[in-house]
Amino acid sequence: MAITDIAAYTHLSPQDIASLGEELDAIRADIEESLGARDATYIRRTIMFQRTLDVAARLLIVASRSKIGWVAGTAALGFAKSVENMEIGHNVSHGQWDWMNDPEIHSSTWEWDMVAVSAHWRSSHNYRHHVFSNVLGEDDDLGFGAMRVTPEQPWERKHLLQPLQNLLLAATFEWGVALHGLDQRRSRADWIAQGKEVVRKILRQGAKDYVLWPALSVRRWRRTLCANAIANLLRNLWAYVVIFCGHFPDGTQKFTADVLDTETRAEWYLRQMLATANFTAGRFLGFASGNLCYQIEHHLFPDLPSNRLAEIAARVRPLCEKYDLPYLTGSLTHQYASTVRVIHRLALPNGA
C-alpha cells in the first residue's frame, strides 16, 4: 500500500528524522567542499574516452574485413553510446558538473546523442521525478505513464498487454524518453511547440545515424547503417535495465500526495531512500551504468558528481542501519527479476 505518513511507516520520531537529515546534509557539505581537480579530470577523461571509443568503433566497422571485426566494432559503438547516454549525458544534465563553469560540460548546453531533447528531459526528470519521487499523481516516471507499477494505480484492460509493452519499451527506450518529455500539463500551444522540438531532434539524430555516417562509409554504407541501428538498440536495452532496476523492484515504496503537505527537507531525504533501489556493481559495471547502481545515493544528491557516489554510499548505508531503515540492494539479475515480477503481477487486477 502507498505510504501516507512516512514517520509512522519508519517508526522514527521527528527528532530522529531531523537528525538523519542533518547527517545527510553533512555528507553533502563534505563532498561539495572536496570537489576539485580530481573530479574535473575524471569527467574530461571520460568524455575523451567516449569520443575516442566512438571513432575507433566506427573505423573498425568500416575497415574490418571479417564478421568478427564488425561485431566487435558494433559492440564497442554500443558501449560508447551507453557511456555518452548514462555516465555523461544523464549526469551532466543533472548539473553534476556545473560547478566547473565549463560551457561544454554544463547542464544548460549539453545535448545528448539520442532522439530525446535534453531540455525536455531536465524538466520531466530532474523536476517532476526527482522532486516528487514515487508520489502518486505527481511523479510522471512512475510507470512512465504507460505501465502499472503499484496496486494503487487503477487497473485497466490494456494492462494485460503490459509484459509485451515492457519489452517494446526496452527496445525503443530513447523514443519513450522523447515522448515522455512532452509535458501534458502545459498549454496546447506550448505542447505543440515541444512536439516540434522533438520532431526536429528526431530528424537531426536520424540524419546523423542513418544518413551521414552511412554516406561517409561509401560502398560499405550497409555495414554502418546496420551497426548504428544495433548500437542504438544495445544502448536502449541497457539504459532501460539500469533505470528500471533502480525504481521498480519489490520493496521500492510509493506515496500518496498527502506526504507533500508538510514535508521537510529531512522527510524528502527519507522518501528518496524508501523509493529507490541499488544493485551491486564493481568499477566497470558502475561506470557502464553511469554509477546508477547507486540509485539511492543519486536520488539523495542528484546534482553531486557520479564518480563520488560509491564514496557517498559507504556513508549512507551505515546511516540506514543506524536508523533501522531498509537499504534495498542486490545483484543486477536479482533486481531485474524482481522488477519483471512486479510488471507481470500488476498486469492483472488486484487480487487476481
pLDDT at position 188: 82
N- to C-terminal Cα separation, the chain? 16
Task: Give pTM, 2 decimals.
Answer: 0.94
**23 exposed, middle or buried (CB, 10 Å; 0-12, 13-18, 19+)?**
middle
Judged against a pLDDT cut of 90, whether residue 180 lies above it is answered with: no
310 Cβ partners below 8 Å, 6+ apart?
A: 286, 291, 294
Q: Tens digits of per-residue pLDDT, 272-327?
A: 999 999 999 999 999 999 999 999 999 999 999 999 999 999 999 999 999 999 99
Long-range contacts of 313-318 (CB under 8 A, 24+ apart): 313/278, 315/27, 316/24, 316/27, 316/273
Structure confidence by residue, pLDDT tens digits, 211-220: 999 999 999 9
Contact 81, 113 (CB under 8 A): yes
